[in-house]
Structure 1
Amino acid sequence: MTIKNAHAKTCKWLLNNSEYLDWLDGNKLGEHHGFLWINGNPGTGKSTLMKFASANARETMKDKVVISFFFNARGEGLEKSTIGTYRSLLLQLLERIPALQYVFNSLGLSTLSISTNHQWSLESLKMLLEQAIQSLGESSVVCFIDALDECEERQIRDMISFFKHVSELAVSAGIKFQVCFSSRHYPHITIQKGLDLVLERQEVTIRTLQTISTVS
């Protein structure tokens, strides 16, 4: 991942942002189904913010399992496809929650096949990830997926549809599964239940506060 490190103060505003705090609030999962979408124009620092958010979550949310995937249009095939996304998320879940091994065992599969050159089909990976999430029990998972616009649009629309389905099942079962996406404003994708955080609006707010502070 070639995202330059952000200065600590650059992204700290996120930790006090109302949309971000609502997204993390487990009592509000029924309202937004665990979705937060960070979007903004090119150059507004989406990937830097996502890197900060995922690192901060790993450091401070010790009661949660934090997983992530960063799309890279200039990378290898698995770095810019949803097959790569599902494989990476599954592997991270299995490393953090070994009990999920039984999901593979029930299908006669080996977890080693996730990290090797086994030719997985998209539907098989989606089925495994859905079963893994449905089997989380008391575990709480926070997922960050960055730069959706660096993947082919058809794949992204299918992935969003998949996560909407999984999140509905999770909310119904009382499972805590939250996903934060980031992308440019295109592709235009609407999630009926979810939170939006538009970076251009935040920049205006931050600049206004800085001006007020300087004047006072």
Structure 2
Amino acid sequence: DWLGAQSEVFWIKGKAGSGKSTLMKFLSNHPETLNHLRAWAGNQQLITARFFFWNSGTALQKSQTGLLRSLLFEILRQCPEVLHYVCMVRARFKDPELRCLNPGSEHLPRQLDHLLDESLDWSHEELVHVYKCLVHTKAQSKFCFFIDGLDEFKAEGAQDHRELVSTLRELATWPNVKLCLASRPWTVFADAFTSTKWVLQLEDLTKPDIYRYVSDKFMKHDQYQKLLKARPGYSDLIGEVVRKVQGVFLWVFLVVRDLLDGLTYNDPIKTMHLRLNQFPDDLESYFQHMIDSIPKFYRKETAQVFQIALSREEPLSLITYAFVDDLAEDPNLGLAGGDIELTSSAIDDK
């Protein structure tokens, strides 16, 4: 399999909400994955790292610079002995006068200390150069990088997804590096990675699990059991749900929740089909459907909640959002100083 094969790319492709990130977290953390990678590395040192692009995160969480910095940090964390070498390589790249230095020298010249103190930000070109030198220097080591959410990458300047793909393909050409990548099946990624023999269409993998999930949820509902005996047409509903979701786990969770409400209300089979067919086929359209269903009277408040959530790097507690109405009445509420004391009943009301 890929874990024991020569250095190559493994591409996991799937629709939004199909479970790519969940699978990547599982794979990158599973002990069996590390066992197989250690067998691949043999007597050589194994270095692993992972990065998850996130388009709602900080600039570094959705940029190529953030990717390279994160992977470099993991390499240095696992191989602290090369930190000196990395500093020397970077200094030689930034300052032509220092290019006569031997990167293997044990002593850092005074001007190098000054240069590194002033240069906290790494450029894309610096990072790629350091990677090339480091991978060649650590040729007796094996590297495996798990990189998720390529479609959530946000371009920096003139960079676009093609530039990201180019960088990844260059990394994959090094004989001691292998990459496990995950993204939506966009053309730019299909053109770059379909030629590899290691490609997984995630919906093909999850279809049986989705069927079991839907069947289990319906069969545990008392009303479904009763309706199934009285109206055999209900037996086809599970298969219809699985066909409609097309392998998107998040979508099936949301739809099944609504259909179970229909069972609770004793909806006839015709109404259950109407419930199912009212949902858009893809997740983004479903979210748009949810937003469109918000009464116009509440949309201003909803927009404020979204703006607050998007402006935060870390999630806020649920009770914080309960003060949105209070801020509308008193914009200086949060500047008054002191703590706001809430009784249990006040929290329940919020």
TM-score by length of 2: 0.45
Return the match for 2:15 from 19, 41, 50: 41
Secondary structure of residue in 2 paired with 1:140: strand
- Asked if the contact 2:11–2:200 (Cα under 8 Å) also holds between the matched residues in 1, the reply is yes
The amino acid that maps onto 2:168 is F
Distance 2:33 2:198 in 1: 24
Residue in structure 1 matched with residue 121 of structure 2 by the alignment: 119
Q: 163, 169, 189: which one pairs with 1:164? A: 169
Q: Secondary structure at the residue paired with 1:188? A: helix
Counterpart AA for 2:2? W
Return the alpha-carbon distance in structure 1 between the equivalents of residues 203 and 90 of structure 2: 46
Say which structure is richer in strand: 1
- 1:118 is displaced (CA, Å) by 1.8
**Which string of whole-angstrom CA distances, capped at 9 and with x for unpartnered residues, describes residues 103-146 of structure 1?**
332443789x99x9822211111111122222222222111111
Rg larger in structure:
2
Question: Do the aligned partners of 2:52 and 2:149 also contact (CA within 8 Å) in 1?
Answer: yes
The question of whether the paired residues in 2 share the 8 Å contact of 1:82 and 1:155 is answered with no
Query: Which of 11, 24, 30 is residue 3 of structure 2 equivalent to?
Result: 24
RMSD: 3.1
* CA distance in 2: counterparts of 1:60 and 1:121, whole angstroms: 32
Q: How far did 1:209 drift?
A: 10
More deviation in 128-137 or 102-111?
102-111
Question: CA–CA distance in 1 between the matches of 2:205 and 2:57?
Answer: 30
SS at match of 1:73: coil
The answer for unaligned runs of 5 or more in structure 1 is: 1-21, 211-216
1:51 and 2:34 correspond: no
Structure 1's 117 and 44: CA in aligned 2 closer, same or farther, altered over 3 A?
farther
Q: What is the aligned partner in structure 2 of residue 16 from structure 1?
A: none
Contact kept in structure 2, 1:100 and 1:135, CA below 8 Å: no
Count the aligned residue pairs: 177
Change (3 A) 1:24 1:46: same
Alpha carbons 1:82, 1:156 under 8 Å: kept: no
Comparing both structures, which one devotes a greater share of its residues to helix?
2
The aligned counterpart of 2:49 is 67
CA contact (8 A) 2:89 2:133 kept: no
**Separation in structure 1 between the aligned mates of residue 197 and residue 131 of structure 2, nearest angstrom:** 21
Q: Which moved more, 1:52-61 or 1:92-101?
A: 52-61
| Compared CA separation, residues 98 and 132, structure 1 to 2 (3 A) | same
Partner of 2:200: 197
Which residue of the partner structure matches residue 104 of structure 1?
A: 87
Percent of aligned positions with the same letter in both sequences? 29
Which of these residues, 124, 147, 152, is aligned with residue 154 of structure 2? 152
Offset, 1:40 = 0.4
Hey, what's the Cα distance between the residues in 2 that align with 1:119 and 1:43? Answer: 34
Provide structure 2 residue ranges, at least 5 long, that are not aligned to the other structure: 39-45, 93-111, 214-350
Question: Matches of 2:119 and 2:91 in 1, distance apart?
Answer: 18
Q: TM-score, normalised by structure 1?
A: 0.70
CA distance in 2, matches of 1:155, 1:94: 28
